[in-house]
Amino acid sequence: MKFFIDTANLDQISKAAGYGILDGVTTNPSLIAKEGIIEQSEHIKAICAITPTPVSAEVLATETDSMIDEGKRLAALAPNVVVKIPLTMSGLQATKELSSQGIRVNVTLVFSAIQALLAAKAGAAYVSPFVGRLDDTGLDGLTVVEDILNIFGNYDFETEVIVASIRHCQHVHRAALLGADICTIPFAVIQQLSGHPLTDKGLAAFLADHAKVAAH
Ligand code: E4P
């Protein structure tokens, strides 16, 4: 399973790249705004200068033609830019057009398996179901991911499934068990993934045992 980082923070992206486990970056308008950025082009270029992995940059346009224009502008920023398009009928049309021109599209704001099927049929390279936001409504977001993976397997779609809106390590664990292609994970959760109290306890004991002998 590939690990993307779900942030627009340059420091966090650099640190995650340094850990040696970074396979991509996803941003969205909220994450860009969190960095105090109004016009995202230069910031997306700065992210792409940190990592050659796929970097999703989302369009703000909502009509098909303007989504296509904005998507082309974003894709021209760097070879690793993936254009993120929301799952609307206009978004599906834009996805079809951009994909047919060889531009990779990540269809976002996906909350059902049928929405994911539509995105795959439109030629999306990636589809992003939001598990945390589904959980918030009282559903189990990862059952939607399971359905998407089964449907894509039934028809041999090449669209990769990005499990998005990850809130905790259990989301990542279950996504891996399901065979999801990618998890896009906030920096805080990436840091939590390596932690285990028995690892900390074991390391402290090893160092204490060594120190006792070294003191003699
Ligand atoms: C990633 O592509 C999504 O934009 C992101 O995971 C949404 O996460 P949130 O529900 O925590 O905002």
pLDDT in tens, 84-139: 999 999 999 999 999 999 999 999 999 999 999 999 999 999 999 999 999 999 99
Joined tokens for residue 26? 């996803």
Ligand 1 site: residues with CB under 6 angstroms?
6, 26, 28, 108, 128, 130, 132-133, 164-165, 184
Q: Which atom of ligand 1 is nearest to the CA of 132?
A: 10
pTM recorded for the entire structure: 0.96
Q: Which atom of ligand 1 is nearest to the CA of 26?
A: 2
Q: Which pLDDT score, from 0 to 100, does residue 114 have?
A: 98
Nearest residue to 127 (alpha-carbon basis) of 184, 189, 51: 184
Rounded CA gap, 37 and 186, in Å?
A: 19
Strand partners, 4: 24, 184
Q: Which pLDDT score, from 0 to 100, does residue 106 have?
A: 99
Below-70 pLDDT ranges, the chain: none
Query: Which helix (H) or strand (E) is 31 found in, with range?
Result: helix 29-34
The distance between the two most distant Cα atoms of the chain, rounded to a whole number of Å, is: 76
- What spacing in Å lies between the alpha carbon of 165 and ligand 1's midpoint? 4
Q: Which pLDDT score, from 0 to 100, does residue 216 have?
A: 81
